């Protein structure tokens, strides 16, 4: 009976370790890329963009202030329009951007073109960690356009982006 009890304990410990490893790999899974769904395609097309594919897109810089940072911050990452071209560049009208915590917001695709919105990977030269709202933070050039000084746009600064659904 004691042997059976130890064996069962070993299984329980192994299961607990597996759960712990899965939880700890969460941020790594988050850092593995972004899922893009083209809902205009029939049937819808899913593309998992890897970190390498996203890093291969030309980086752009936005220097701006946000209510989430102190002073002007330099954000760097690919233009969202470049990412869209990479997955197909259809006549999408909106993008539902979803964060790791399931927060989601619909954004007009026209914003990406009009304002040069980026998917920031770096802040002040440092790669964004999950703690720093990374690995991907959708960033508008808030200081460059007077109309962006509106809470509507502040709500669109979604961080820890994991999924983009295009419609």
Question: Does residue 65 share a domain with residue 5?
Answer: no
Question: Does residue 5 share a domain with residue 75?
Answer: no
Per-residue pLDDT band at 22 (split at 50, 70, 90):
very low
Count CA atoms within 13 Å of residue 73 on its CB side.
22
pLDDT in tens, 101-114: 999 999 999 999 99
Question: Does residue 118 share a domain with residue 62?
Answer: yes
Question: Does residue 126 share a domain with residue 112?
Answer: yes
Residue 128: is it exposed, middle or buried by C-beta count within 10 angstroms (0-12/13-18/19+)? buried
As for how many domains the chain has, the answer is: 2
Name 98's bridge partners: 104, 163
Question: Does residue 38 share a domain with residue 20?
Answer: no
Question: Does residue 83 share a domain with residue 8?
Answer: no
Per-residue pLDDT band at 2 (split at 50, 70, 90):
very low
pLDDT in tens, 87-106: 887 899 999 999 999 999 99
- CATH number, domain containing residue 69: 3.90.420.10
Question: Does residue 58 share a domain with residue 1?
Answer: no
Expressed as residue numbers, the domain containing 5 is: 1-30
Interval 125-148 mean pLDDT: 93
């Amino acid at each position: 009976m004691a042997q059976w009890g130890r064996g069962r304990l070993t299984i329980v410990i192994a299961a607990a370790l597996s759960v712990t490893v899965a939880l700890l790999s969460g941020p790594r899974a988050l850092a593995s890329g972004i899922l893009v769904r083209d809902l205009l395609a029939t049937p819808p097309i899913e593309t998992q963009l890897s970190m390498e594919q996203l890093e291969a897109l030309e980086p752009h810089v936005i220097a701006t202030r946000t209510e989430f940072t102190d002073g002007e911050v330099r954000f760097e990452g690919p233009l969202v329009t470049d990412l869209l071209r990479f997955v197909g560049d259809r006549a999408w009208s909106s993008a539902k951007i979803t964060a790791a915590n399931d927060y989601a917001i619909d954004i007009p695709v026209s914003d990406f073109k009009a304002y040069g919105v980026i998917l920031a990977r770096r802040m002040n030269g440092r790669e964004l960690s999950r703690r720093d709202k990374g690995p991907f933070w959708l960033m508008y050039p808030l200081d460059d356009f007077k109309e962006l000084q509106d809470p509507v746009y502040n709500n669109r600064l979604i961080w820890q982006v994991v999924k983009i659904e295009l419609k």
